[in-house]
């Protein structure tokens, strides 16, 4: 028969495996986020499903401290401030609200990236700190608070039900009186190593690295890579001629929420970068694209959520001659911001009122706006200008404007405040951008099903691609330039619903197949490149590159192939799709102009950890993150058990001492009867 081990621990504890913690982040002056004590925090579970339930936790309950199981609809600033202000709470487990809170929920700031954009006391002071327009009115700023107890998100409804059942069985108050022991309790572990600020933790890292044989890092800078490519190939390791002009198209590819690595970012990031990718594909397919006099650079910035990490680094590299382009090469700038929640068919064009005071900039911006408006003729997109006195929304373009007056426009679905009521939250999901699929589709059918959202974003991509063609000097009819809704729907499925799909599998390198997790998240993180960066890189290469007839060896070592022009192109040996008649894949070589460039804030290059010019965000390190529930006995029973244990110990010590003292009597060896003495 089979023998199964059953440890005591497994009999006592039920581990919660599908949770996401709130972790500590630090900047030049603050620490934000949550942490537990070094040995974890424990408390009796109390379920809070309506505000009245809070009184038990805050005042009436006889068994503090409590671990609160909070309904997702109550996870707001008002409730959190009450819980933060008491010592009767040892931690919090938050269940996901289904459906998403109708009033909206954004733990981000009302004025995102405040102080790191272009507006300041020296440049458009009337627009600084969102004086003119509050962009994210539902922002509660919860993500930027510091909590001294652990907060976990319960991702699995079944686990939430297990906790509620345990609460029902043991903890429900009977007629206002406290429940009887044993009680159901929860323990959360999320102790953070870094404290105070980035300045403090980076200094500690530095001391450790200097003096310790085994240095222990306490925090890491948020970092990753920007993805960029050009319409016409350029020497990526050289310098572009000063007279060459480029149109820069930009979007961000990262998002954030209150909980670590939960960042679906459907509207705040995915809608815009998917539209950008579709526009790049449409433009590359244009027949006379090689004749355009201006080049176009497609740029995908990483880490923008945290004070513009990616864009500030690219500007810094351009200024320091560490990038093929200089700022002087940029003819104009087009940025796609949140574009999926259009009101009717309207897309808004935002420009910077301060730089437009300059006559030459004003002329170029006017030209840019006219070309964009004309490109929407005949498409189901109406482009409208916001009023002249309104500043730019939070955007990567602001970092470029800080360095140089570049004519540019930011395209969004909002005229003033964001349409997105779930900005930087766990509810910025496919449902938020109205992605809907019929019932009963297989994963493959879902991947290929063209949703209304995909059609709508393809229309935006078409308008952007046609406008870029005109801006770059194209004179022919643009009606043939058309973004493909099929490509858009595949990208939305892959970046929002399931990364591990047949299309993504076919376009990445074989050694990267491990990055294809299930539910996509778009948090910048500290280990790079993250999955989003890799996938944007390979999707862009697939949509804009060409398949070349090279062997695997030639593709992996293009410098050995004379005709490869390694400085101009990037080569990737990708898995290819499954052969219909077998289980093997048909790999091939893709040549593209796609490159990665560092997205690490210049503050860390310059060791200016207290910088107010550049992002200084770091993430604390931790040892373990876990959660579990178990039954606890009453304090009286614990004390009785302890006293009885001590009594038994004392008794056994006395008995051992007595036996030891009388050992010669108790354990004497009887004489051998044969050995008689006469």
Identify the residue with better confidence: 675 or 424.
424
In tens, the pLDDT along 198-256 reads 999 999 999 998 888 888 999 999 999 999 999 999 998 889 999 999 999 999 999 99
Strands 19-21, 151-154: pairing kind:
antiparallel
Per-residue DSSP letters for 121-172?
Answer: TTB-GGGGGGSS--S-TTB--GGGSEESS-EEEE--HHHHHHHHHHHHHHT-
* Burial (0-12, 13-18, 19+ Cβ within 10 Å), 271: buried
- Reported as a pLDDT band with limits 50, 70 and 90, residue 181 is confident
Residue 70 and residue 65: Cα distance in Å, rounded? 15
Q: Which residues contact 412 (CB under 8 A, 6 or more apart)?
A: 337, 338, 339, 347, 348, 350, 393
Residue 152 and residue 155: Cα distance in Å, rounded? 9
Residue 173 and residue 166: Cα distance in Å, rounded? 13
Residue 536's CB is within 10 A of a number of other CB atoms, namely 27
- Reported as a pLDDT band with limits 50, 70 and 90, residue 1 is very low
In tens, the pLDDT along 568-602 reads 999 999 999 887 777 888 999 999 999 999 999 99
Q: Please give the DSSP secondary-structure letter assigned to residue 578.
A: B
Residue 413 has pLDDT above 90, yes or no: yes
CB 6 within 8 A of CB 244: no
Residue 281 dihedral angles phi and psi, to the nearest 5°? -65, -45
Q: Collapse the DSSP code of 662 into the 3-class scheme (helix H, G, I; strand E, B; otherwise coil) and give the result.
A: coil
Residue 671: predicted pLDDT: 66
Residue 676: predicted pLDDT: 56
Q: Which residues contact 171 (CB under 8 A, 6 or more apart)?
A: 44, 45, 46, 179, 183, 184
In tens, the pLDDT along 307-337 reads 999 999 999 999 999 999 999 999 999 999 9
In tens, the pLDDT along 3-27 reads 555 678 888 899 999 999 999 999 9
Q: Where are the alpha helices (DSSP H) in 300-393?
A: 309-319, 359-375
Residue 441 has pLDDT above 50, yes or no: yes
Residue 281 has pLDDT above 60, yes or no: yes
Residue 377 and residue 466: Cα distance in Å, rounded? 10
State how far Cα 446 lies from the chain centre: 24
Residue 111: predicted pLDDT: 94
Q: Collapse the DSSP code of 40 into the 3-class scheme (helix H, G, I; strand E, B; otherwise coil) and give the result.
A: coil
Give the pLDDT mean for 130-141: 94
Domains observed in the chain: 7-216+625-636 (no CATH), 223-539+593-600 (3.40.630), 546-592 (no CATH)
Q: Comparing C-alpha atoms, which of 66, 271, 282 is closest to residue 178? A: 66
Q: Collapse the DSSP code of 411 into the 3-class scheme (helix H, G, I; strand E, B; otherwise coil) and give the result.
A: strand
- Reported as a pLDDT band with limits 50, 70 and 90, residue 545 is very high
In tens, the pLDDT along 629-667 reads 999 887 788 899 889 999 999 999 999 988 988 888 888
Residue 412 and residue 347: Cα distance in Å, rounded? 6
In tens, the pLDDT along 17-63 reads 999 999 999 999 999 999 999 999 999 999 999 999 999 999 988 88
Residue 44 and residue 545: Cα distance in Å, rounded? 58
Give the pLDDT mean for 153-158: 94
Across 143-269, the runs of DSSP E, i.e. the strands, are 146-147, 151-154, 183-189, 219-221, 223-230, 246-252
Q: Please give the DSSP secondary-structure letter assigned to residue 283.
A: H
């Amino acid at each position: 028969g089979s023998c199964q081990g059953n440890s005591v621990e497994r009999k006592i504890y039920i581990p919660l495996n599908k949770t996401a913690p709130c972790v500590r982040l630090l900047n030049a002056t603050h620490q934000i986020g949550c942490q537990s004590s070094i040995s974890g925090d424990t408390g009796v579970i109390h379920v809070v499903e309506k505000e009245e339930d809070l009184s038990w936790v805050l005042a009436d309950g006889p068994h503090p401290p409590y671990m609160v199981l909070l309904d997702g609809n109550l996870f707001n600033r008002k409730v959190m401030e009450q819980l933060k202000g008491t010592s009767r709470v040892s931690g919090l487990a938050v269940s996901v609200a289904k459906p998403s809170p109708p009033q909206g929920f954004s733990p981000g700031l009302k004025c995102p990236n405040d102080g790191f954009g272009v507006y300041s006391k020296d440049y458009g002071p009337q627009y600084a700190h969102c004086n003119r327009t509050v962009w994210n009115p539902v922002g509660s700023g919860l993500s930027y608070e510091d909590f001294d107890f652990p907060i976990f998100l319960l991702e699995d409804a079944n686990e939430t039900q297990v906790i509620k059942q345990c609460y029902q069985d043991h903890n429900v108050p009977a007629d206002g009186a406290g429940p009887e022991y044993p009680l159901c309790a929860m323990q959360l572990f999320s102790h953070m190593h870094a404290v105070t600020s980035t300045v403090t933790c980076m200094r500690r890292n530095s001391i450790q690295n200097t003096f310790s044989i085994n240095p222990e890092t306490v925090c890491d800078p948020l970092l990753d890579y920007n993805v960029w490519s050009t319409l016409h190939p350029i020497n990526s390791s050289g310098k572009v001629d000063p007279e060459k002009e480029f149109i820069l198209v930009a979007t961000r590819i990262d998002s954030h929420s209150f909980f670590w690595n939960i960042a679906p970012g459907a509207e705040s990031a995915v809608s815009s970068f998917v539209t950008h990718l579709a526009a790049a594909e449409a433009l590359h397919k244009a027949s006379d694209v090689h004749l355009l006099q201006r080049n176009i650079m497609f740029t995908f910035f990483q880490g923008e959520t945290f004070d513009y990490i990616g864009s500030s680094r690219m500007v810094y590299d351009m200024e320091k001659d560490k990038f093929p382009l200089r700022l002087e090469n940029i003819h104009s700038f087009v940025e796609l911001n949140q574009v999926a929640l259009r009101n009717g068919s309207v897309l808004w064009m935002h420009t910077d009122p301060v730089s437009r005071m300059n006559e030459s900039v004003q002329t170029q911006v006017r030209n840019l706006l006219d070309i964009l408006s004309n490109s929407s003729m005949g498409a189901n997109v109406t482009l409208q200008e916001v009023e002249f006195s309104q500043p730019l929304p939070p955007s990567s373009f602001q970092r470029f404007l800080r360095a140089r007056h570049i004519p540019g426009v930011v395209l969004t679905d909002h005229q003033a405040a964001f349409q997105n009521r779930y900005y930087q939250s766990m509810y910025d999901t496919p449902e938020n951008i109205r992605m809907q699929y019929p019932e009963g589709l297989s994963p493959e059918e879902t991947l290929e099903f063209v949703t209304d959202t995909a059609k709508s974003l393809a229309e935006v991509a078409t308008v952007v691609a046609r406008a870029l063609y005109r801006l770059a000097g194209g004179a022919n009819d643009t009606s043939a330039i058309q973004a493909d809704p099929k490509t858009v729907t595949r990208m939305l499925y892959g970046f929002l619903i399931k990364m591990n799909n047949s299309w993504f599998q076919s376009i990445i390198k074989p050694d990267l197949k491990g990055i294809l997790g299930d539910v996509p998240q778009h948090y910048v993180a500290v280990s790079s490149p993250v999955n989003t960066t890799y996938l944007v890189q390979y999707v862009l290469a697939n949509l804009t590159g060409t398949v070349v007839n090279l062997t695997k060896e030639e593709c992996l070592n293009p410098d050995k192939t004379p005709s490869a022009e390694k400085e101009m192109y990037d080569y990737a040996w990708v898995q290819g799709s499954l052969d219909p008649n077998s289980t093997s894949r048909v790999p091939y070589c893709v040549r593209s102009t796609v490159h990665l460039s560092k997205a690490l804030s210049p503050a860390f290059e310059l060791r200016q950890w207290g910088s107010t010019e550049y992002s200084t965000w770091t993430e604390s390190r931790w040892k373990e993150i876990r959660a579990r529930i178990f039954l606890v006995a009453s304090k009286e029973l614990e004390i009785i058990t302890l006293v009885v244990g001590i009594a038994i110990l004392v008794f056994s010590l006395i008995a051992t001492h007595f036996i030891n003292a009388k050992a010669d009597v108790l354990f004497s060896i009887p004489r051998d009867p044969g050995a008689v003495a006469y």
